Amino acid sequence: MKVDQAAEEDDEEEEDEDEEDGEVKEKKEKEVEKERKLKESKKKHAHCATAKELSAITHFNSTRFAGFEKDKDLRPWDMSSNSELRIKKFFKNEADKLAVHNWTFLSRTYPKGTRFDSSNYSPMDSWAMGCQITALNYQTGDLPMFVNTGKFLDNGLSGYLLKPPSLLPPPSLGVKEGKAKQASTAVLPLNVTMKVISGWQLPKTSGTTKGDVIDPYIDVKVVGLEADYAHVKTKTVGNNGYNPVWNEEMNFTIGKPDIAVIFIQVWDEDKLSANDFIAYSAIPVTSLRSGYRSVQLYNSKFEALPDSSLLVHINTTTTTNKSVTVSARSNLAKSK
């Protein structure tokens, strides 16, 4: 009886082992089949041509910048691509060359590959050299994106802006003594006087309706070329986010007004912790108009705050001081 029982147990163990071996074998076969299909898929699509439908709506052919001389043979639809690192080098050493290159050819800039946090770089260098496309990480609400959003307000957020005259080929005024006479495209510096008068229905921190009443102050920066950098703060108005009054005047001299942006931020002062961001507005200097103006405010997601605004008075006058060249450095990184 005991012998028969032991034999039965051995048979059961062998059956269990066979089942386990069968499961392992089946699992391995599935993995091999999966790997085979993956290799076939990669092989199939390795040299797959671009879909005709996609090609039909793709207007530009991206190509690596090969140099000013070699790129003279580019076709009209070819667009040279440069990372932000190369753009920095251009801006430091060959800004004028790239600006002239962009009279005839298309250029695109993009963030460096190590921006794993999706942060952004300064678009000012690209804009100042006439690059037609400046790619940014739109999912990140930071200073470069705030400035970019404000810059394109100049044309109703249509996605396109005309280059300023200073970045276009100088128009010919005819031929004199065998030489083409060129019109000047120099931009005169602009004096801007802005009086921050008051605010209206400023939101609380993070847009909440509950919590302490904010203690707002206004932070104003001129973002553009380094020579134009300016940074001014108003006093803090305590416990009043509904209709705070500052009545403070600030003056700026902007050498390249066709590039610069006035960046305005509203902050909540907190003596026990870091100050809280409330709202912002970014206005191209070329869009400034003299007189009393209502400034629309936006949150960190670039959404307009329909009931929130600032009342300011602006006065602009040109100056006869010497114009600034494009090779001046950008101040966006400095202004963070």
Q: Residue 120: inside a domain, yes or no?
A: yes
* Domain span including residue 196: 190-318
168 shares its domain with 77: yes
224 shares its domain with 313: yes
What is the spatial distance between Cα 265 and Cα 313, in angstroms, rounded to a whole number? 17
Q: Which amino acid is at 202?
A: L
Instruction: Supply the angle between the helices 95-104 and 84-93 in degrees, to the nearest 10.
Output: 110
Q: What is the pLDDT along the chain (336 residues), one digit of tens a residue?
A: 444 554 455 555 555 555 556 677 777 777 777 777 667 665 655 555 667 777 777 778 888 888 888 888 888 889 999 999 999 999 999 999 999 999 999 999 999 999 999 999 999 999 999 999 999 999 999 999 999 999 998 887 777 899 988 898 877 544 444 444 444 456 789 999 999 999 999 999 876 777 789 999 999 999 998 899 999 999 999 999 999 999 999 999 999 999 999 999 999 999 889 999 999 999 999 999 999 999 999 999 999 999 999 999 999 999 876 555 554 455 554 544
132 shares its domain with 201: no
303 shares its domain with 206: yes
CA distances from 70 to 65, 66, 67, 84, 126 (A): 9, 6, 5, 21, 21
269 shares its domain with 295: yes
Q: What CATH code is carried by the domain that includes residue 109? A: 3.20.20.190
Q: What CATH code is carried by the domain that includes residue 232? A: 2.60.40.150
212 shares its domain with 314: yes
End-to-end CA distance of the chain: 88
169 shares its domain with 205: no
80 shares its domain with 166: yes
135 shares its domain with 236: no
Instruction: Say how many domains are in the chain.
Output: 2
The last residue of a domain, from among 162, 182, 202 = 182
210 shares its domain with 313: yes
Q: Residue 29: inside a domain, yes or no?
A: no
165 shares its domain with 194: no
173 shares its domain with 269: no
Pairing of strands 78-83, 61-64: parallel
